[in-house]
Chains A and B, each alone.
Chain A
Amino acid sequence: MSKLYTGAEIVFKCLEDQEVEYIFGYPGGAVLPIYDELKNHSSIKHILVRHEQGAGHAAEGYARSSGKPGIVLVTSGPGATNVVTALTDAYMDSIPLVCISGQVPTHLIGTDAFQECDTTGITRPCTKHNWLVKDIKDLSKVMHEAFKVATTGRPGPVLIDIPKDIQFAKTNYTKFKKEKKLNGKTHNKFSQNEIDQLIDLISKAKKPVVYTGGGVINSGPQASETLKEFVRLIGFPITSTLQGLGAFPGDDNQFIGMLGMHGTYEANNAMHDCDLLINIGARFDDRITGKIDEFSPKSKKVHIDIDPSSINKIIKVDLAIVGDVNEVIKSAIKKINKKQNGLKNSNKQRISKWWEQISKWRTKDSLGFVNSDKEIKPQYAVKRLYELTKNQDTFITTEVGQHQMWAAQHYKFNKPNRWMTSGGLGTMGYGLPAAVGVQIAHPDKLVIDIAGEASVLMTIQEMSTAVQYNLPIKIFILNNQYMGMVRQWQELLHEKNYSESYSEALPDFVKLAEAYGCKGIKADNPNELDEKIKEMIDFKGPVIFDCHVDPNENCFPMIPSGKPHNQMILGPNDKEEVKITGKGKSLV
């Protein structure tokens, strides 16, 4: 008879078979058998966080920067409920997470036992799938299926709830064989006919635009290379969503900037006026489309996505290609090279007028701002941070709010997996723990969390984690003493009634840094900014950088609520500023 293993041992055997290196977690009563087993598995390192939400976000940061699934281990009850925000965040942004939660013993389920909650019930709507393992014989099968579900198709979080008695129970373990065949829930069966239609549209378009999203990043680094080749081949302008930044080089001339609510003038106008819109791995989010009825009214629309339910969900498209982004574009490139070699030149001629128009829009310099020599402007701070870090491979995470938009606008990404931000759910407090996870995956790289003072306080406890594992993350706080985006909306829409958006009683971030045992730096003068940023980069250890910026700065350009793409509000440099009036006020 073969050796019998306990449930806890099987958990680790599965993790080893899946080549897991790091677990982000927090112990508790119902997962103690698993924690007890940890010491016997040297290839797996556990990172102790300070709050389960932090574990989830750290795992997200790890997953997004490495392309591997992030693993979370939490206890029952509060452990599981605390991780719900991170699971929902991962679900919205399609990040592969495998969360293992402890549960009270099976005979106590349903009795309101200590630290019991209906974990699978609570997490059902925020995971791709979840399992409550009630029989030890199912455990290994469930574990491996969980990895498959999390990482195939459109990635996402999964959760495995393991009662404590199952962790103790014993059974056989059969070694896992990696299947080559994808499961039935992934879709990669596009036809050549669809590719032909795509190429036909490409060869006829006069005003085309390529709109890419996080799907390109999720398709793997190879997809970004393929995208580059594809876009250079067809010569079209390309814009990207918040999540897609880095898939195409941000400083390339064909890149016309981010689109959407705080996107560039040229990108949004191109979206509005184009006659061909090629959506690659994006999902027509409401922050992108603006007013649906007037979204890109004159264009033929193509949507390439691995998730069939994304197609026609919000915007009806003329051609849908369901498949892996990399595979689809690769096959389009192949076809073009084989059959339509002249396409490159003919395209160039046909769309030259369109490029002229885009150049005109570019002269608006919609990301411009009025700089000051007395106060640090937040945009200036991000720009300087970019200039001083662009010579090395830098990873940026953010929290949520104005600083996030400024980071997206002014920091240029040239490679995928370098930009981690909470886009779908918009989770304040995401950036710091995410930076922890990124630094774990890339110990020798520079990892910066561009933060706001309000957001960062939501998960500031994870500084302890950074100090414990000696993770030299840099927390670059654009401190404007306001929940900036809330304040901006209140200024523009609620008659400057700044209800509860002032960050009262802020801590002294330098002293806070010192209390955690890391370095604190404060800057409030533009003249000293460069020097202090360099000091931050050169310091070998975690740093909290308290950058005091102009509290009244607003994030422009902006598509006001209820308006289409071609009616943006530009910054203070623009004279014909559109005022938000009437109906638009009711929307964001």
Chain B
Amino acid sequence: MPAPKSAYNIPTKIGKFDTHIFVVWVDNEAGVLARVVGLFSGRGYNIESLAVAEVDATKNISRITIVTTGTPQVIDQIKLQLKKLVPVHKVADFKREDKKVIFKEMALLKIVAQKKKIEKCLKECKKFNPVILDKTNKSVVVQITALRREIDKMSKKLKPFGLTSTSRTGAIAMTRGAEIFK
């Protein structure tokens, strides 16, 4: 490939990528999600999953949970840039491997198959707190809660058994123990 004639520096070696989970407390106002998401897209950061909802109606606070990957330097930047946004109150950042934090994602799985196959599916789901939300002769809708990776695995595994549709919430996080993140 011929050397591109661009105007800037050569990219330096890229460090190791880590997966981090950011929890961001924001004012629940118009455009706040666009600000957060726009920051990610504008600066070229990844978003692997996103979960957002109001958590405090009196104080008007929403909680955004973002799973992202990046080099330690990028992760640091994401945190500092998020903190600069006016409607952002606080930002917590956890490594995926962090033992002190619980990460969970919910998924709804629709399986269309014969009874036998459905049974098999439900058996596979057992580990992940399955709740059957709807059942007919030919189908079942089951809710599971698990880690991201586990749901990834499950949806792969259940494909041959008639899994036709998956809906996922994106990961959410909570610290263990009595401590509250300040």
Contact = CB atoms under 8 A, between A and B. Distances in A.
Contacts of A577: none
A157 to B, nearest CB: 13
Contact of A120 (B12, B31, B73, B83): B31
Interface in A537-588: 561-562, 582-583, 585-588
B9 A562 contact: yes
B8 interface: yes
Contacts of A309: 77, 80-81, 83-84
Best-surrounded residue of B4, B5, B83 (most CB of chain A within 10 A): B5
Nearest to B29: A131
Interface of A: 120-121, 124-125, 128-129, 132, 134, 149, 185, 286, 289-293, 307-309, 311-313, 316, 493-494, 561-562, 582-583, 585-588
B21 to A, nearest CB: 20
Contacts of B86: 128-129, 149, 185
Nearest to B88: A185
B34 interface: yes
B160 interface: no
Interface in B32-89: 34-35, 38, 42, 73, 76-77, 80-81, 83-86
Given A124-B34, A125-B38, A149-B86, A586 B80 contact: no
Given A293-B12, A309-B81, A562-B10, A586 B5 contact: yes
B-side interface mostly: loop
Contacts of B84: 185, 307, 309
Contacts of B30: 132, 134
B7 interface: yes
B35 to A, nearest CB: 6
A493 B5 contact: yes
A29 B76 CA distance: 45
A562 B31 CA distance: 40
Given A312-B77, A588-B8, 12 more contacts: A125-B38, A129-B86, A185-B84, A307-B84, A309-B80, A312-B73, A313-B73, A494-B5, A583-B3, A585-B3, A585-B5, A586-B5
B9 A291 contact: yes
B6 interface: yes
Interface of B: 3-10, 12, 30-31, 34-35, 38, 42, 73, 76-77, 80-81, 83-86
A586 B34 contact: no
B2 to A, nearest CB: 9
Contact of A124 (B4, B12, B31, B81): B31
A134 B83 CA distance: 26
A583 B80 CA distance: 34
Contacts of B38: 124-125
B80 A587 contact: no
B60 to A, nearest CB: 13
B31 A587 contact: no
B3 A586 contact: yes
Given A120-B31, A124-B38, A309-B84, A587 B77 contact: no
A134 B30 CA distance: 10
A106 B108 CA distance: 39
A141 to B, nearest CB: 13
A311 B73 CA distance: 10
A161 to B, nearest CB: 11
Nearest to A316: B73
B73 to A, nearest CB: 6
Given A493-B5, A583-B3, A308 B83 contact: yes
Nearest to A129: B86
A301 to B, nearest CB: 15
A587 B34 contact: no
A588 B7 contact: yes
Contacts of B34: 121, 124
B4 A586 contact: yes
Contacts of A493: 5
B73 A286 contact: no
Nearest to B84: A309
B12 A587 contact: no
Contacts of B76: 312
B8 A286 contact: yes
A303 to B, nearest CB: 13
B12 A588 contact: no
Contact of A587 (B6, B35, B42, B73): B6
22 contacts: A121-B34, A124-B34, A125-B42, A129-B86, A185-B83, A185-B84, A286-B9, A292-B9, A292-B12, A307-B84, A308-B83, A309-B77, A309-B80, A309-B81, A316-B73, A493-B5, A583-B10, A586-B5, A586-B10, A587-B10, A588-B6, A588-B7
A122 B12 CA distance: 32
A588 B5 CA distance: 8
Nearest to A311: B80
Nearest to B5: A586
B111 to A, nearest CB: 40
A368 to B, nearest CB: 27
Given A124-B31, A129-B86, A308 B80 contact: yes
Nearest to A307: B84
A212 to B, nearest CB: 22
A186 to B, nearest CB: 11
Best-surrounded residue of B10, B12, B77, B83 (most CB of chain A within 10 A): B10
A143 to B, nearest CB: 15
B145 to A, nearest CB: 35
Contacts of B10: 291, 562, 583, 586-587
Contacts of A121: 31, 34
A311 B83 CA distance: 14
A185 B82 CA distance: 11
Nearest to B85: A129
Nearest to A289: B9
